[in-house]
Homo-oligomer: A and B are copies of this chain.
């Protein structure tokens, strides 16, 4: 069985990670997973939120959003509606937690890094692309902070790498990195955030149509670990390029 776009079940869509996209941000990446394009910027500011002052520890947080016409049908702007939807909140929180999993707060010192992940075009997997791109933007921002001496010598603020990928069961077959059309048809849908050494940061599986069995869950996790390793390689390749 071949997929809509000709991929094998365990194949990622073409992944591109373009660093230095913005002239203003301390780290900025335009990441694409196929037709899904997310602009991830990392903004460094000295100081931390009030509840963390004097702790000697830094903070990392994230905000996710979608341009109104990133999708096939135009959506209302959340700024116009005057409130953020549940889905937006949920994804912003997921991205923040995922990146904090590889941050050494003490080593970061009392600095705050905000990751903005704005989906310019959506075709499934926007949150996983966002996490994968945001990690690279974060790495660039940390390097900037080190060059500016905001971060002291010694322990590196990043304790590892992190990326994310979606997996799901479509017509009974476990597939890696679902595009929108596959996502809509998936019986089960899972987003998995892994570190570069193959451990889990987040596992979020949802039965869309039918509850799923343990064996299905295991097959999806296998697939996700495989995809994560591929993304980890793509991130490393991008970070090795000179800008």
Contact = CB atoms under 8 A, between A and B. Distances in A.
B203 A203 contact: yes
A18 to B, nearest CB: 13
Contacts of A204: 202-205
Contacts of A46: none
Interface residues of A, number: 66
A194 B211 CA distance: 8
Interface string A195-222: 1011111111111001111100100010
A65 B79 contact: yes
A72 B24 contact: yes
Nearest to A191: B204
A100 B66 CA distance: 26
A7 interface: no
B63 A80 contact: yes
Nearest to A45: B74
A238 interface: no
A205 B78 CA distance: 28
A190 B25 CA distance: 28
Contact of A74 (B43, B71, B79, B82): B43
A22 B71 CA distance: 9
Interface stretch (A52-60, A112-120, A145-153): A112-120
A167 to B, nearest CB: 12
A116 B203 contact: no
Contacts of A92: 86
A239 interface: no
A143 interface: no
Given A211-B199, A212-B199, A65 B77 contact: yes
A47 interface: no
A166 interface: no
A206 B217 contact: no
Interface string A58-96: 000001010111111010011110111111111011000
Question: Which 9 A-B pairs give the minimum distances between C-beta atoms?
Answer: A86-B89, A199-B211, A78-B79, A41-B69, A43-B74, A203-B205, A79-B79, A90-B90, A195-B211
A39 interface: yes
B67 A118 contact: yes
A13 interface: no
A111 interface: no
